[in-house]
Chain A
Amino acid sequence: MLELIDQFNVFDAFWTTIKLTLWSALFSLLLGTVVAIMRLSPVGFLRWLGGSYVTLIRNTPLTLIIVFCSIGLWGQFGIEPASRDSPTFIVDLNFRLAVIGLSVYHAAFVCEALRSGVNTIPVGQAEASRSLGLTFGQGLRHVILPQAFRGAITPLGNTLIALTKNTTVAVAIGVAEAAYALRNMIEFRPDVMLLNFLLIAIGFVILTLPTGLATSWLASRLAVKR
């Protein structure tokens, strides 16, 4: 087992998985919040735009989005979020393209998780904030969103766990993460097939189990007591 870990850089691979997860979690949280605000806004067009985004992205297979980022964004449109002079051009490029794809995809789920958080807040609070003279933005910032995030911790945690495992799709454009290590292990060490799968599975359990526990703990600790 140690020999396998050494031969296929399993630790490096999982480090890439962690980096993919964290960057994508950050960007999808930002983008997802923006989309959620659009869906809550009083402007009809923005509501429609946010709704369309969620419907379109949520129903598109992730593999398609990731491969599009490489072959479409890079290949067809020439968008290169990395420097050609760098000796690690391809590695950086693929990593960043994968982060773009993962963020765009999971933003749709973050948006819906946040909306579920908003639904935990009694309508009266939004009405009260308006009658106190707060604008839509102020009400959002001081009344709605802080409670929405606290109420949405469980679904956000689920999205984070899904995101952690979905990073494996990045192997489709050659990002050297856990699934990439697994493919190499399958190709070069078919004699220990079961161990290959087991090793990667254990790695993911180690990553996602604490996320789940932390989510439950945070959710009960930060829950808005009403």
Chain B
Amino acid sequence: MRSSTFKIAALAAATTLTLAACGGGGESTDSGSGGEEGGSEPLTIGVKIDQPGLGVQDGDSYSGMDVDVARAVAEQLGVSEDDITFQEAPTPQRENLLTTNQVDMIFATYSITDERKEQVQFAGPYFVAGQDLLVAADSDIAGPEDLDGQILCSVTGSTSATNVQEEVPGVQLQEYGRYSECVEQLANGTIDALTTDDTILAGYAAQDQYAGQLKVVGNTFSEENYGVGLNKDSDRCEEINEILQGLWDDGTMEQIISDNLGAADYTPNADLNPPEIGGHCG
């Protein structure tokens, strides 16, 4: 009995040590490879990995609007494709990832807000999205005013849901952890509408399995300025602003948007795009 208790304790201690060793080892390898490459500096970029059309991970490859913009910016910063590491940046962890330098920059439908600017700085905005509604293809809902008494879906801890509830108190709000759960419930007719940024909605409407079933209403009622999240100590902010301006000027941005969201007949709000870049650094 005693010896088996001792064995378990020894095993637990050994496991802890192994795990600790793993953590340390991983980091040292990272910095090591950076030194060997020589040419360009490695860059870790935070993206969404589960948002169709914006940031999607498929095996080892990443795609979507945010990912393409990130690649274009990295290229002009002189970082070669091989030196870019993409990493998931879930919404609640974005500030933390930046302040602890786990990622160098974040392209993840990251709206510029004053609260966030207290912790991080933003380059951009590189795109202005707006809050909109996704409804069934045969629905009569044309805007938030039609939502009285209807069931609206969004994710918990998102600004979009709170906005609509303030405007239309009669709406019933269903919140899930992920948009994909909302879209599933919308497609089977249990809920009436889904609200969030129009870019995200367009990405879902463009998915193959929902083709023809869903439509984006196209009546935006807010402004979401997507910025590039950076650590406050980063000195690249102004440089990235210039690069983003260049991407709009030479038509690269339009190409990226139509490549990723064009399938859903989505066109960005022309009054607000291209956005006025700059003013959120530092």
Question: A and B, one complex?
Answer: yes
User: In the complex, how many angstroms separate the beta carbon of A85 from the nearest chain B beta carbon?
Assistant: 10
Task: Take A90-B151, A171-B177, A190-B119 as given contacts and tell me if A183 and B92 are in contact as well, using a CB distance cutoff of 8 Å.
Answer: yes
C-alpha gap A190/B98 in the complex (Å): 12
User: Contact size class for B?
Assistant: 20 to 34
On whether the beta carbons of B172 and A90 are closer than 8 Å, the reply is yes
A94 CB, nearest partner CB in chain B, Å: 7
Q: Give Cα A94 to B172, complex, Å.
A: 12
Whether B151 lies near A172 (C-beta < 8 A) is: no
Query: Is B7 interfacial (CB-CB < 8 Å)?
Result: no
CB of B233, distance to nearest CB on chain A (Å): 17
A180–B155 Cα gap in the complex (Å)? 11
Interface digits, A158-177 against B, CB 8 Å rule (1 contact, 0 not)? 00000000000001111000
Cβ-defined contact, A187 with B177, below 8 A? no
The answer to whether A174 touches B174, judged by C-beta atoms less than 8 angstroms apart, is yes
Complex CA–CA separation, A75 to B151 (angstroms): 13
Q: Please, how many angstroms separate the alpha-carbon atoms of A19 and B39 in the complex?
A: 60
Residues of chain B contacted by A67 (CB below 8 angstroms): 176-177, 181
CB of B35 within 8 Å of the partner chain: no
B156 at the interface (CB under 8 A from A): yes
Given known pairs A171-B156, A173-B176, the reply for A75 and B115 (CB within 8 Å) is no
Nearest B residue to A188, CB-CB: B115
A173 CA to B173 CA, complexed, in Å = 11
A74, CB-defined interface residue at 8 Å: yes
Per-residue CB proximity of B252-276 to A under 8 Å, as 1/0? 0000000000000000000000000
Q: Is A70 located at the chain interface by the 8 A CB criterion?
A: yes
Question: Are B91 and A187 in touch, CB under 8 angstroms?
Answer: yes
Q: A71 contacts the other chain (Cβ, under 8 Å)?
A: yes
- Shortest distance in angstroms between B168's beta carbon and chain A's nearest beta carbon? 13
Chain B, residue nearest A94 (CB): B174
Given the contacts A74-B190, A90-B151, A193-B96, A187 and B159 also touching, CB distance less than 8 Å: yes
Task: Mark contacts of A183-209 with chain B using CB atoms, 8 A cut-off: 1 yes-contact digit, 0 otherwise.
Answer: 110111111010000000000000000
Chain B stretch 163-197: residues in CB contact (< 8 A) with chain A: 170, 172-177, 181, 184-185, 188, 190
B236 close to A (CB within 8 Å): no
Q: A71-B181, A191-B118 are in contact. Are A174 and B95 (CB under 8 A)?
A: no
B157 beta carbon closer than 8 Å to chain A: yes
Judge whether A217 is part of the interface by a CB distance below 8 angstroms.
Answer: no
Determine if A187 and B190 form an interchain contact, defined as CB atoms under 8 angstroms apart: no
**Which listed residue, B92, B118, B157, B185, touches A71 by the CB 8 Å rule?**
B185
Q: Does A89 contact B (CB under 8 A)?
A: yes
A75 vs B183: C-alpha distance in the bound complex, in angstroms?
11
- Taking the complex as formed, is A76 at the interface, i.e. its CB lies under 8 A from any CB of chain B? yes
Report B203 CB to chain A, min CB distance, Å: 20
Q: How far is the CA of A89 from the CA of B151 in the complex (A)?
A: 9
Picked from B92, B96, B118, B174, the residue with its CB within 8 Å of the CB of A187 is B92
Main secondary structure, interface of A, reads helix
The interface residues of chain B, by DSSP majority, are classed as: mixed
Closest B residue, CB atoms, query A180: B156
**Across the interface, which residues of B come within 8 angstroms of A193, CB to CB?**
95-96
Once bound together, how far apart are the Cα atoms of A191 and B116, in whole Å? 7
Cross-interface CB contact of B157 among A74, A172, A183, A191, cutoff 8 Å: A183
Pairwise interchain contact A75-B184, C-beta atoms closer than 8 A: yes
Instruction: Determine the chain A residues whose CB is within 8 A of the CB of B175 once the complex forms.
Output: 173-174, 180
- Cross-interface CB contact of A174 among B156, B170, B184, cutoff 8 Å: B156
Q: How far is the CB of B36 from chain A (nearest CB, A)?
A: 36
Provide the bound-state CA to CA distance between A156 and B58, in Å. 44
Q: Which residues of B contact A184 (CB under 8 A)?
A: 156-157
Given contacts A184-B156, A187-B159, contact A75 B188 (CB under 8 A): yes
The residue in chain B whose Cβ has the minimal distance to the Cβ of A174 is B175
Chain A residues whose C-beta falls within 8 Å of the C-beta of B91 in the assembled complex: 187
A191 to B114, CA, bound (A): 10
Q: Is there a chain A Cβ closer than 8 Å to B158's Cβ?
A: yes
29 inter-chain pairs at a CB distance below 8 angstroms, sorted by A residue, are A67-B176, A67-B181, A70-B176, A70-B181, A71-B184, A74-B190, A75-B185, A87-B170, A90-B151, A90-B172, A90-B173, A90-B174, A171-B156, A172-B177, A173-B175, A173-B176, A174-B175, A180-B157, A183-B156, A184-B156, A186-B92, A187-B159, A188-B115, A188-B157, A189-B115, A190-B95, A190-B118, A193-B95, A193-B96
Residues of A within 8 A of B (CB): 67, 70-71, 74-76, 87, 89-90, 94, 171-174, 180, 183-184, 186-191, 193
Q: What is B's interface to A at a CB cutoff of 8 Å? A: 91-92, 95-96, 115-116, 118-119, 151, 156-159, 170, 172-177, 181, 184-185, 188, 190
